[in-house]
Amino acid sequence: MMWVILLGPPGAGKGTQAQALSSRHGWLHLATGDLLREAVTQETSLGKEAAVYMKQGTLVPDRIIIGLIQERLSSSAVIAGCLFDGFPRNLSQARELDRVMQQQGRGLDRAISLEVNGEALVRRLTSRRVCGRCHRVYNLLTNPSKAGDRCESCGEDLQQRADDDEETIRRRLAVYREDTEPLKDHYKHQGILSVISGDASPEEVGERIEDALGRPSPGR
Ligand code: AMP
């Protein structure tokens, strides 16, 4: 059983890699961004509250996120493992996750930090398209859908995310640097951080991640 975190700025490829990794290993894929977007689409009260922050590119309050994670973990069977994608996003969420793991009598196995430089991220995000139903991620320039403007997996229309405009992207990158990047030190101290360059094809990056997961944790 593996418990893994994927860190990295928006556009680094977390979603693409998380989908591939979790289906390969049979892990539960827990993406807080996807859960929030579902709540926004369904217009639940949680979704209405979260939408305000998401549109601005700032973080949704911790209590909403922790509630989502707890609900999802208690309602899903985690058999082979769990992959957190886009969570934790700040130190207080990381501490909360440490506490939840401790309650379960175990620790996180690995934190993977996927790294890509800032201008490449803006380019990737402005050309990103996503499936609103199954959350599969495409890119108009580097990874277009073979089904045109529909999803190859489920046939749904592809969409541009409401927060993938240049101004919001720059805000999200700043929030990442300010709030999320410091988590690398948190996991480095725990001896479970692996830093991986995300500047390659999805297949190549996937191999780098598998290599890192197959090696003993650095510093352990
Ligand atoms: P993502 O799909 O991971 O890029 O997340 C999209 C947006 O959802 C972010 O810009 C935040 O507004 C919100 N969000 C996702 N995950 C979190 C989290 N763990 N904590 C706070 N806000 C989050």
- Whose Cα sits closest to atom 12 in ligand 1? 54
- Sheet (strand 193-197) strand order: 28-31, 81-85, 2-7, 110-115, 193-197
Give the catalytic positions in this structure. Answer: 14, 89, 128, 161, 172
> 11 CB under 6 A from ligand 1?
no
- Whose Cα sits closest to atom 11 in ligand 1? 59
> 60 CB under 6 A from ligand 1?
yes
- pLDDT value at residue 106: 85
The full set of domain ranges for the chain reads 2-27+80-213
- pLDDT value at residue 77: 85
> 193 CB under 6 A from ligand 1?
no
pLDDT tens track, the chain, 220 positions: 899 999 999 999 999 999 999 999 999 999 999 999 999 999 999 999 999 999 999 999 999 999 999 999 989 888 899 999 999 999 999 999 999 889 888 899 999 999 999 989 999 999 999 998 999 999 999 899 999 999 999 999 999 999 999 999 999 999 999 999 999 999 999 999 999 999 999 999 999 999 999 987 775 5
Cβ proximity of 88 and 5 under 8 Å: yes
What is the rounded distance in angstroms from the CA atom of residue 182 to the CA atom of residue 24?
29
Cβ proximity of 151 and 158 under 8 Å: yes
- Whose Cα sits closest to atom 9 in ligand 1? 54
Pick the CATH number of 2-27+80-213 from 1.10.760.10, 3.40.50.720, 3.30.750.24, 3.40.50.300: 3.40.50.300
- pLDDT value at residue 76: 87
Q: Can you read off the two tokens belonging to residue 199? A: 């500047």
The phi, psi pair for 153, rounded to 5°, reads -80, -45
- pLDDT value at residue 215: 80
- pLDDT value at residue 11: 95
Q: What distance in angstroms lies between residue 84's CA and the mean position of ligand 1's atoms?
A: 12
- pLDDT value at residue 167: 95
CB proximity list for 29: less than 8 A, separation 6 or greater? 18, 19, 22, 83, 85
> 86 CB under 6 A from ligand 1?
yes
- pLDDT value at residue 216: 76
> 171 CB under 6 A from ligand 1?
no
Strand partners, 84: 5, 30
- pLDDT value at residue 220: 55
